[in-house]
Structure formats: C-alpha cells, structure tokens
Amino acid sequence: METPKIKMPDIKMPDIKLPVDLPKIPGMEVDMSPTRAAFPLSTKKIMKKTVKYAGLAILILFLFGGIVLPIIASVGSKIKYLGLILGLLSFGIFIVAIVIFAAVYFYQKRYFGKYFYDFTAECIMIRKGAVTQNEIAIPYEHIQDVFINQDFIDKLFGLQDLHFSSVTYSEVEPHIDGLTKGSAEAMRTFIIDAIDKKKSGEKVVPPVAPVVEETPAVVEAAPVAVAEAAPETAPVVAAEKPAEPEVPAK
C-alpha cells in the first residue's frame, strides 16, 4: 500500500520594517558637493589614516610594554603578586591600544565626512578639518602643475593623491587625498582642460555626477490557486409511485 504524499504549503516570511528610522551618529554626515559626487573619495581613506596614525601609537605602546614589563619582572622578582601585577599591566596596555584605535578611527571618519572640495567655474575650493576647518580657493589661472602622488600606504590600499602646484600657495601644497585611480585621473584631466579653457577665454563647466536611471522593478503576479470543480453528478429524480387499480362501483 502506497503512503499518501502530503504537500506542505509554501510559507513566505513577511517583510519586517522598523516603525522608525535608526538614529544617525551626529557629526558623521558627509559634506557633499557636485564635484565630490562626480569624483568621490574612497572609504578606504578612513582605514588608511587610522592605520597610519593609530598604528604608530600602538607600536610605540607595545614596544614600551615589551621593554618595561621584563625590567619589572627581573627587578621585582621578590614582589608579592608579581604575576598578577604584570598581567594587569599587560591587560591595561591592550585596552589602551583598543581605545587609541577606536578614537583615531572615529576622528578620521568625521574628517572624511567634513572633507569638502568643489570645482566651480572660476576656481577649486577645498575645505578640510574634523574640528576646525580651513578653506582655500585656487583660481585655475594660478595652477602651474597637476600631478598624482602615491606613498607606500597608498599603494597598500589602492589610493592616490592629487596635488596642485600654485603660485598662491607656495609654502603649503594643496592636494586632495584618498582618491581611487579612476577619480584621480579624471580630476587631473578636468583641471588641465579647465586651465586650457581659461587661457583661451572659454567657459568652464563644473563637473556633474552622472545620473543613474533606475530600472523599474518588474512585479510578478502571484499565481492564483484555482479550486478544482467537483465532478458533475446526474440529477436525482424521484421514482414515480405506481397508480392503484380502480375498483368498480357496486
């Protein structure tokens, strides 16, 4: 005898949406501009700066611990609870390293959000600073050279820096760092073209981010379950009662 197969119904999880939006961390918003939208910074810049500055501090901290702890262990061999003291010092160094890394990371995240640059029709505007901000404006006519630079840490993260040589800022070299290779080369091409247009008297058109057209989502109609029709049965007709024979009158 065959075991009857039981078909389980299809169960779909409902879409769960939060009743309110999650709060954003204040101070971490990005100061966006049309130029930054067209030539965006890479988010790898945050981790690159964190590794560069926090890594050096943590290295010094661990070197200090690696030198001081053995000295304490050798000098204070007769100190009671020496093992506990060394363990607490080691744990403290580890906690301080985590705090340094987290502090530098959030500082660089805010610095990344406040990093503003915009290419107008007349000049290049750059504004930097996580707490206090400095802003400079470089006219295209004052730019002498545009070049791309990359140090060792930039190569590890695949980043490039765009530098400007200007007669206005001879002591401090303006630059935009933390760019991808594509953004850096596109920015250099735009600036060189803007310099040539200014020399010939043409108008410089500021860059605009390409508009991405959204493809309308195709909603598939849910299959409609059709109930099977019950087999048609012949109508039931009541049997006729046979007629009684007539009795002749006397």
Average pLDDT in the 44-50 region?
A: 93
Number of Cβ within a 10 Å radius of residue 148: 15
C-alpha span between 246 and 250 (Å, rounded) = 13
Number of Cβ within a 10 Å radius of residue 82: 13
User: Could you tell me the pTM of the whole model?
Assistant: 0.68
3-state secondary structure of 146: strand
pLDDT confidence tier of residue 99, bands split at 50, 70 and 90 = very high
Cβ atoms of 180 and 161 closer than 8 Å? no
pLDDT confidence tier of residue 92, bands split at 50, 70 and 90 = confident
Considering the domain 34-200 in this protein, what is its CATH number? Answer: 2.30.29.30
pLDDT confidence tier of residue 209, bands split at 50, 70 and 90 = confident
Region at 199 (left for phi over 0; alpha for psi -120 to 50; beta for the rest): alpha
Give, for 126, the enclosing helix (H) or strand (E): strand 123-128
Spell out the domain ranges in the chain: 34-200
User: What is the reported pLDDT for 159?
Assistant: 94
Cβ atoms of 198 and 141 closer than 8 Å? yes
Burial class (CB in 10 A: 0-12, 13-18, 19+), 160: buried
User: What is the reported pLDDT for 223?
Assistant: 54
At 133-178, the pLDDT tens digits run 889 999 999 898 899 999 899 999 999 999 988 877 766 678 999 9
